Structure 1
Amino acid sequence: MVRPVARQFYEDTLRTLVRRRVPFLVGGALALKHFAGIARDTKDLDIFLRARDVDRALEVLADEGFEVEKCFPHWLAKAWSGPHFVDFIYASANGLCAVDDRWFEHAAGCTLWGVPVLVSGAEEMIASKCFVMERERFDGADIYHLLEACGPDLDWSRLLSHFGEHWRVLLGHLVFFSFVYPQKRHCVPRHVMNALLERAKAEHRPEDVEVCRGTLLSREQYLVDLRERGYADARVAPHGNVAPKDLEIWTDAIGRRP
């Protein structure tokens, strides 16, 4: 559900981006409504776009009189008018799930407030949400609603490709899905579940690396492992690709809404 005043701002934003030919995808609560039919009150609009298009998007909205800011250089920018704002997301906060051409190749079309737009694919939505496990926010329910609604029709090979070496995160969510919807376990193909379980059994031995991958799931809850217990941060080189200076900005903002 979008309130009337916010709706006008979102509509103006979408029309401006379309008119100025900035490529983008709609995600978040509106995409969840599109795929799973679940409506909820939303205070912002999530726009996904490639990193190379972010500055252009901010420029055209600034031309329209909106305030804009690149809040966290490695993943998030914003545009707002009064209390209403749009999030421009071009990667996950952990440095994974960067928006690339594949997101656009597999996007779905729809119309929002009379504006023809592209919606982020369900596979990409699931992949980007799977790593959100903060104390104050867990996107599991969104993931399981998407699996319940779209599971049989998902491109599972494409979904798996988004996880790479972090496939265990997807497996964990699939196990939780089978608990949440026991009568809908068929929504996850048996061969996918079996392949992941067999891989988990085959790779059961500990890895010879002192890294904490919990930071890929929560920016705050595993800081003790980095600061006091000697673990390396999976978000920075050689394990990840977030620049230390960007990570410092992101960590300093703990406690404030992004």
Structure 2
Amino acid sequence: MDTPFSAPDTSPPPIDPTGRSFYCHGLTLLIDARVPFLVGGAYALECYTGISRHTKDLDIFVRPDDRDRIIEILASAGYQADVTYPHWLAKAYYGEYFIDIIFSSGNGICAVDEAWFEHAPRRDILGVPVLLCPIEEIIWSKSFVLERERYDGADIAHILRVCSDRLNWPRLMDRFGAHWRVLLSHLVLFGFIYPAERSRIPDWVMQRLLALLADELRSAPPSERLCQGTLLSREQYLTDIMRWGYQDARLQPKGRMTHENIAHWTAAIDVKE
């Protein structure tokens, strides 16, 4: 006799007291020091969508100019804290738990600026009143995470399903700027994922993006051999750069990263085969 299928329990285990204490203490230290920061990652995703995904880290987003001060505050409290990648990430540790101190993105595009703070809602995280990353910036930064081992497209689809009516669409489109094709790709996938929900994306947004695509199709392609795949994955387009002679879109002046930034970021790839 066949056993009836039952869905696995996907609810995350509650965060243990050690991790909670570390995160709360870290947040409180920064609040007391009056250093501006925003909470993102899994905790912001839960606030916006109701999807719980507890990990052993807490993501805070800060202005680049505040990075070193935050490291100093957390280090003075006895936590190990250092710059992991100079172009976008620092970390503070307490045993197996850590706080990610994020001031840009792995591809160098999504630097934290004043607009992140101007549009940030206030929420309680772990009982601490904080500012959340705005929905638009979460979508913007997650849209470029298309690694083989990590794909944030499902997070974007879930955010759009719940929050589309609260989005500042002109601001979101401005964030993508010349990378509007990336936004269009996620919106097209949203209509595929949720056929009955596709009206959640305003018609004028799709029409404006499709008009950009139509204009592009009527013009000649650029002459320079540029690979923008490196903005989506640090690993999967290395062949294009190293063997096929394409320019790396991350590299200055096209992008915001130096040769040293790229080399450091590439060296950290977890080679499994």
SS at 1:215's partner residue? helix
Matching residue of 1:100:
113
Letter paired with 2:237? Y
1:65-104 matches, within 5 Å, as 65-104=78-117
Among 224, 249, 252, the residue aligned to 2:239: 224
1:1-258 matches, within 5 Å, as 1-204=14-217, 205-255=220-270
Instruction: Report sequence identity in percent.
Output: 52
Q: Cα RMSD (Å) of the superposition? A: 1.0
CA distance in 1, matches of 2:223, 2:16: 52
CA distance in 2, matches of 1:238, 1:117: 36
CA distance in 2, matches of 1:57, 1:187: 39
- Could you say which structure has the larger radius of gyration? 2
CA distance in 1, matches of 2:213, 2:79: 49
Structure 2 residue runs of 5 or longer lacking an equivalent are: 1-13
CA distance in 2, matches of 1:133, 1:165: 18
SS at 2:109's partner residue? coil
Letter paired with 2:27? L
1:153-205: CA deviation from partner (whole Å, max 9, x where unpaired)? 20001101111111000000000011111111121100001110121011024
1:198-251: CA deviation from partner (whole Å, max 9, x where unpaired)? 210110242222110000000010000011101000001231110111111111
Residue 114 of structure 1: how far off its partner (Å): 2.5
Letter paired with 1:145? H
How many residues are treated as equivalent by the alignment? Answer: 256
Residue 4 of structure 1: how far off its partner (Å): 2.5
1:116-170: CA deviation from partner (whole Å, max 9, x where unpaired)? 1000011110000000000100000110111001111200011011111110000
SS at 2:101's partner residue? strand
CA distance in 1, matches of 2:269, 2:164: 34
CA distance in 2, matches of 1:94, 1:237: 12
Residue 110 of structure 1: how far off its partner (Å): 0.7
CA distance in 2, matches of 1:36, 1:163: 22
Structure 1 residue runs of 5 or longer lacking an equivalent are: none
SS at 1:162's partner residue? helix
1:92-123: CA deviation from partner (whole Å, max 9, x where unpaired)? 11110100000000001011232110000111
Letter paired with 1:10? Y
CA distance in 2, matches of 1:3, 1:206: 54
CA distance in 2, matches of 1:67, 1:170: 37
Letter paired with 1:6? G
1:48-91: CA deviation from partner (whole Å, max 9, x where unpaired)? 01000000100000010000010000000000111100001111
